Amino acid sequence: MATATFTLPLLVLATTDSPALTGTAFALEWVPRLAAFGRAGALVARHGAARVMRWAAATRALVLLMAIPVLAGAAGGAATTATVMALAAVNGVLSQFSYVAAETAGAAASQATTRPHQVQGVLLGIDQGAMLAGPAAGAALLQWGGPGWLLGAVAAMSATAAAAAAVPAGPPGPGTASAERSAAPGVSGWATLKSLPALAWLVAGLAVSNLATGTLEAAAPVIVVRNLRHSSASVGAVWSVAAAATLLVVAASRPAIERWGLWPVGALSAAVASVACLGVAQAHRFPAYTVLVAVLVAAEAGMTVVLRTLRSQLVPQEVFAPTLAVTILILLLPFPLAGVLIACTPPAALGRLLTGLAVLQATALAAAFIKARKALAPHRAAVGSSG
* 195 pLDDT more than 60: yes
- The residue count of the chain comes to 387
What pLDDT does residue 358 have? 94
CA dihedral 217, 223, 225, 228 (to 10 degrees): -140
- Identify which has the larger pLDDT, 175 or 99: 99
pLDDT cut 70: percent of the chain above it? 81
* 184 pLDDT more than 70: no
Residue 237 sits in a domain of what CATH number? 1.20.1250.20
The band of 178, judged by pLDDT with boundaries at 50, 70 and 90, is very low
Once rounded to an integer, what is the mean pLDDT over residues 97-103? 81
Alpha-helical regions (H) of 145-285? 147-164, 174-180, 185-194, 197-221, 232-260, 262-282
Alpha-helical regions (H) of the chain? 2-16, 19-35, 37-47, 49-71, 78-111, 116-144, 147-164, 174-180, 185-194, 197-221, 232-260, 262-282, 286-314, 320-332, 334-344, 350-375, 380-386
8 A C-beta contact, residue 52 and residue 97: yes
* 182 pLDDT more than 50: no
Once rounded to an integer, what is the mean pLDDT over residues 3-7? 69
Q: How many domains does the chain contain in total?
A: 1
What pLDDT does residue 128 have? 62
* 76 pLDDT more than 50: yes
What pLDDT does residue 360 have? 96
334, part of any domain: yes
Interval 200-219: pLDDT, tens:
999 999 999 999 999 998 89
* 225 pLDDT more than 70: yes
CA distances to 16, 198, 203 from 263, rounded to whole Å, are: 45, 11, 14
Once rounded to an integer, what is the mean pLDDT over residues 56-61? 92
205, part of any domain: yes
174, part of any domain: no
What pLDDT does residue 65 have? 92
8 A C-beta contact, residue 29 and residue 157: no
175, part of any domain: no
172, part of any domain: no
Query: How far apart (Å, rounded) are the C-alpha atoms in residues 144 and 63?
Result: 23
376, part of any domain: yes
* 115 pLDDT more than 80: no
Mean pLDDT taken over the chain: 82
What pLDDT does residue 77 have? 78
173, part of any domain: no
230, part of any domain: yes
Once rounded to an integer, what is the mean pLDDT over residues 44-64? 88
What pLDDT does residue 208 have? 94
What pLDDT does residue 61 have? 92
Sequence-distant contacts of 377-384: CB under 8 A, at least 24 apart? 379/198, 379/313, 379/314, 382/313, 383/262, 383/310, 383/313, 384/261
Query: How far apart (Å, rounded) are the C-alpha atoms in residues 59 and 162?
Result: 9
* 183 pLDDT more than 70: no
Enclosing domain of residue 308: 2-167+185-386
Once rounded to an integer, what is the mean pLDDT over residues 114-135? 65
Interval 325-379: pLDDT, tens:
788 788 888 999 999 999 999 988 999 999 999 999 999 999 998 988 888 766 5
